[in-house]
Amino acid sequence: MGADPQGLIRGFFAANSSVTIIVLALIMIFLLKEGAGFLGTYKHELEIYRRAGLEFCDIVDRPLSEQQELSSKLRRAVTTSVDPIIQGVRARRDAAFLLKREVEEQTKLAREPLAAALEKEPAPAATELDPLRQQVAAATQQAAAKMNVPDVFTADEAKRLRDEFAKLTPEVSDLPPMLMELSAAFTVKDKEAKQKFGPLVDASDELEEAPEELRGVLDELKEEVLATKEAATTHFTLEEGRQKLLKAASKAKDPQEKEDLIKEADASKTDEPNYEESIKPVLERREELIGKVVAYAAAADAAAVNLPKEGGTAEATQLLTEVRAALPLHAKALRDGVESLRTWKQDKPVSIFTVIGAFFFGTSWLTNSSWQDFFGFVPLLVGSVVIALIAIVIATPLSVAAAIYTNQFASDREKEIIKPVIEFIQAIPSVVLGFIGISLVGDLIKEISEVPWLGWLPGFPIQERLNMFNAGCLLALMAVPTMFSLAEDALNNVPQAYIDASDALGATKLQTVFRVIVPAGLSGIAAAILLGLGRVIGETMVVLLVAGNRIAIPDFSGGPGVIFQPAHTLTGIIAQELGEVSRGSAHWQALFMVGIVLFVISLAVNGCARAVVRRFELPKA
């Protein structure tokens, strides 16, 4: 036929090798196609956010939201302070009420007929009620006699409880005398405890009540601007549908169909809200809002000054210290917002750079909100990076040490065991590892953190069993096979001449390994680490199941203990939310933008690995 067989074979393999490039290009084109319109769509949403006045309200609402957290800390400080004083009487009261509930549950079948008879109109005769009363009395006496009274009561008190509970009946709604006495004792003790920590209780109440007037004004303004936003959203949704109908009408060939489409389009026509008129009632109350902000900021400063320095426990004192440090910053944030309130303009244009900054540097990823959706990239990126670093820090010594031992020290029999076992890890489905993280690793880490003598470690005891450290441990396990294989290949590629020269100089086996072979293969080992990083940063199922999925930037003020906080990731947010959003929406496009960034990160990591190998490649023998 005249064809060159070698050329055909070469062309066949070249075509197959180009498939990878084609697939990579198609993936990038698909991501760009779906995410390309995000900046424009998000820009439009931010314009409505500003023109409707939601941005104006958020100038106050965002710093004011910190007040809830500060009030919660003060309430915890009050609780932990008074608990040691009231816990004895509270335990007795709660135990007595629990015993009463148990007796009523055990006699439920006997009580229900009598309760039903007592509700009848007219009231049944005594001859009808007496058998039911006797049935209830017998069941109640039997349940009271078998009642297991805890040790918080003396023998005489236990006997009194049994006697009083034996007389329980649906006909009497009053509490038994002893329960009333226990409740009264608790009330007295609680009042005594709160009097002892009066300044703390007063500070908690004052901070709780301080922003009520400000919140009242702000809530009224939020109702106004939210109505404008909803009208704008409705208008643009209908307008988008109208344009589709007009486009379909322009392509319709049947005159009747075309007329019907045009009529339907005309019926859905609405007017865009008049933003200037709708914002006037809000701006008219601007000075009133500013006055409330200044008054509340002054109250926050006063609360910081009047706050007690110590609580009833070490935990309460720590909480008070945190609140005292945070209150001045909280008040300052509110005062800084006053100038923003005065200079805020509804018609200020939203630039494309503002949109880019809102995505790449935004600290809030908030979706399906009745107020406003925000697509801030930073919390997801931070979660992904921290988890990946935890995984690499754990996986690197394990995989590199295993590679060195297997390549240089292990016998042939040991190699036959070690290599298949490590490579088998790669065959474990990631969802199975996720289940292991939920049911085993998370509980194990939490139990270890609660060991008293380990309390000095940062973050111990941990609060959440699903956290970044849990996810990092499992991702490290998944990365070990990849890093092990590549690191061993790097050691195998060290020229034999290097080893022979070291032996000729009289070096020992350990000296040859750690002074010749490992340094010579260091570029390959570094590439293995980078490729392992690319492997873990793109993992989805494990982080989705065990990372905790809290969309917030971790609190790094606690130092290394930050790794025990929950977080969300780039891959996890895509897997969690993509199936729940409407195609073409801003949320849909934002997820594809996250995918584009993740794709670029993966390419960059792999590119760095190749660059390292090329830069430090050993000369060929």
pLDDT of amino acid 27 = 84
**DSSP designation for 559:** G
Question: How many Å apart are CA 96 and CA 178, to the nearest integer?
Answer: 9
- Nearest Cα to 565, choosing from 552, 576, 578? 552
pLDDT of amino acid 620 = 56
DSSP states of 67-111: HHHHHHHHHHHHHHHHHHHHHHHHHHHHHHHHHHHHHHHHTHHHH
Q: Cα–chain-centroid distance for residue 557? A: 18
Which residues of the chain, if any, have pLDDT below 50? 1
CB atoms under 10 Å from CB of 586, counted, come to: 21
Q: Quick one: which H or E segment has residue 525?
A: helix 522-537
Under a CB-based contact definition with an 8 Å cutoff, are residues 549 and 571 in contact? no
**DSSP-based three-state secondary structure for 567:** strand
**DSSP-based three-state secondary structure for 246:** helix
Question: How many Å apart are CA 98 and CA 116, to the nearest integer?
Answer: 24
Under a CB-based contact definition with an 8 Å cutoff, are residues 40 and 297 in contact? no
- Compute the half-sphere exposure of residue 590: CA atoms within 13 Å on the CB side of its CA: 27
Q: What angle do CA 444, 479, 414 make, to 5 degrees?
A: 90
Per-residue H/E/C for 229-258: HHHHHHHHHHHHHHHHHHHHHHHCCCHHHH
Residue 616 CB burial class (10 angstroms; 0-12, 13-18, ≥19): middle
Under a CB-based contact definition with an 8 Å cutoff, are residues 469 and 382 in contact? no
Under a CB-based contact definition with an 8 Å cutoff, are residues 139 and 103 in contact? no
Question: How many Å apart are CA 450 and CA 95, to the nearest integer?
Answer: 28
Q: Cα–chain-centroid distance for residue 591? A: 17
pLDDT of amino acid 619 = 61
- Nearest Cα to 358, choosing from 47, 570, 599? 47
What single letter denotes the amino acid at residue 18? Answer: S
pLDDT of amino acid 3 = 61
580: phi > 0 → left, psi -120 to 50 → alpha, else beta; which? Answer: alpha
Q: Per DSSP, what are the bridge partners of residue 375?
A: 365
User: What contacts 18, CB < 8 A, 6 or more positions away?
Assistant: none
User: What contacts 153, CB < 8 A, 6 or more positions away?
Assistant: 92, 95, 96, 161
- The overall longest dimension of the chain from CA atoms, in Å, is 116
Residue with tokens 């290949």: 489
Phi, psi for residue 102 in degrees, rounded to 5? -65, -40
Q: Quick one: which H or E segment has residue 355?
A: helix 352-360
Q: Cα–chain-centroid distance for residue 564? A: 12
Token duo for residue 488? 């061993």
Token duo for residue 620? 């060929």
Query: How many helices (H) does the chain have, and how many strands (E)?
Result: 27, 2
Torsion angle in degrees (nearest 10) through CA of 102, 105, 106, 111: 130
CB atoms under 10 Å from CB of 184, counted, come to: 12
Q: Per DSSP, what are the bridge partners of residue 289?
A: none
- Nearest Cα to 374, choosing from 57, 42, 2? 42
Under a CB-based contact definition with an 8 Å cutoff, are residues 541 and 430 in contact? yes
Question: How many Å apart are CA 347 and CA 252, to the nearest integer?
Answer: 40
pLDDT of amino acid 2 = 56
List own/partner pairs for 503-510 with CB under 8 A and 24 or more apart.
509/408, 509/409
Question: How many Å apart are CA 474 and CA 437, to the nearest integer?
Answer: 7
**DSSP designation for 149:** -
Question: How many Å apart are CA 469 and CA 456, to the nearest integer?
Answer: 18
- The pLDDT tens digits of the residues spanning 472-486 come to 999 999 999 999 999
pLDDT of amino acid 618 = 61
**DSSP-based three-state secondary structure for 411:** coil
CB atoms under 10 Å from CB of 285, counted, come to: 16
Question: How many Å apart are CA 43 and CA 358, to the nearest integer?
Answer: 10
